[in-house]
Amino acid sequence: MRYVIVGAGPAGVVAAETIRRRDPKGEIALVGDEPGEPYARMAIPYVLTGKIGEDGARLRKAKDHYKNLGIGYRSGRAEKLDRAGKQLVLADGSKLAYDRLLIATGASAAKPPVPGLDLPGVHHCWTMADARAIAKRAGKGAEVVLVGAGFIGCIILESLVERGMKLTVVETENRMLPKMMDETGGDMIESWCDAKGVHVLTSTRLKGVEKEKGGRLAVALDPGGSVVADLVVIATGVKANTGFLAGSGLKIEDGVVVDNRLSADGDSIFAAGDCAKGPDFSGGFMVQHAIQPTATEHGRIAAVNMTGGDARYKGSLIMNVLDTAGLITASFGHWEQGEEARAADLKAFKYVKLAFDGDRIKGALTIGMTEHIGALRGLIQTRARLGSWKAKLMRDPTRVVEAFVSKVP
């Protein structure tokens, strides 16, 4: 059996290893589009701070790991999928024949349509090459404009603060982490950042970037004004890498649509990770639960089914845990709607919000309350019925650990 895996992130690597365990004689080709061995994109901020070197970000540390497993690792960018011929065409013209194909091409940083983003000194922070470019300009005391205060933006914020840079954050929405936090939580994080010396501009849009004399950058903002910077970092979301699938006949929305076996065609083509639009934990379909645990589970499930197994995916739980300049925030599931309970201590930067579906918790937010994270995840993932504990949590939502101990076996 010939297996081709296009994409060498966590989903692709775990899939290759799982296939090898289940099919010792199969031919496996793992294709990555960046130089060097596969690495964890989530480790890039730690490379930027110097906490780890580039080797520390590699997904597998052992020498000749892929060679020793008989996994043929190669660099190349997918150009086209020839389904009739069962071939993946790469940008250099080479072709890889497959019996089973896994699409695990991930996502790329999205670039907003404003002028000046191709100037030297304007970067995303998505690849190892981006991290190297940022590090060259990110000396202590340098002035930086970070565009975007979502999940990825706040991860980058943490590393820029650690490098001792003077940071201005620009966010289009009316609060930080607009998709991860409600208004109370977003405002609390902004206050925390202000206290750390980070200048946060919400409800503010990037208009463009121009080069000034001396090589500095003038960042124009809407409404009004501009900021001068040594470096501009763009963190305004990501887009699934599915362009090479145009004309393939596969169903593409904002990702490759898959079923609960992570199959894209019910036969020989599967998709996993950030480029896959698959089942959501609470029902329906979602895309880009862009976290490593979801990607690795996708890779494992897809690989089992590619090798003749019958593994079913129960769905991704939207879950994010984030350290923003020392303040730990977490969000789980669907916290936006339904009956809810809240408790906040604004001065102490502590906040918890629970969202209910009947007597179950379907979503939650926390700030500064790390002791609750495991219990909340357990209550949501097990769909535990709270019974009389719901009324107790409505009165005092900080008692989630007690509820977890009482209701989850």
Instruction: Evaluate the omega torsion of the peptide bond into residue 223 and state whether it is cis, within 30 degrees of 0.
Output: yes
* CA dist., res. 150 & res. 351, Å (int): 19
CB atoms within 10 A of CB 357: 15
How sure is the predictor about 272, in pLDDT bands with cuts at 50, 70 and 90? Answer: very high
Determine the Cα–Cα distance for residues 311 and 301; give it in Å rounded to an integer: 6
pTM score above 0.95: no
Question: What does the buried/exposed string (b/e) look like for 377-405 if buried means 16 or more CB atoms within 10 Å of the residue's CB?
Answer: bbbbeeebebeebbebbeeebbbbeebbe
- What are the backbone dihedrals phi and psi of residue 380, each rounded to the nearest 5 degrees, phi first? -75, -45
Structural tokens at position 375 = 């219990």
Hey, how many other C-beta atoms are within 10 angstroms of the C-beta on 283? 9
Q: What's the pLDDT at 50?
A: 83
pLDDT per position as a tens digit, 107-135: 999 999 999 999 999 999 999 999 999 98
pLDDT at residue 162 above 90? no
Mapping DSSP to helix (H, G, I), strand (E, B) and coil, where does residue 390 land? helix
Location of structure tokens 């709607």 = 337
CA separation for the pair 148, 156 (Å, rounded): 10
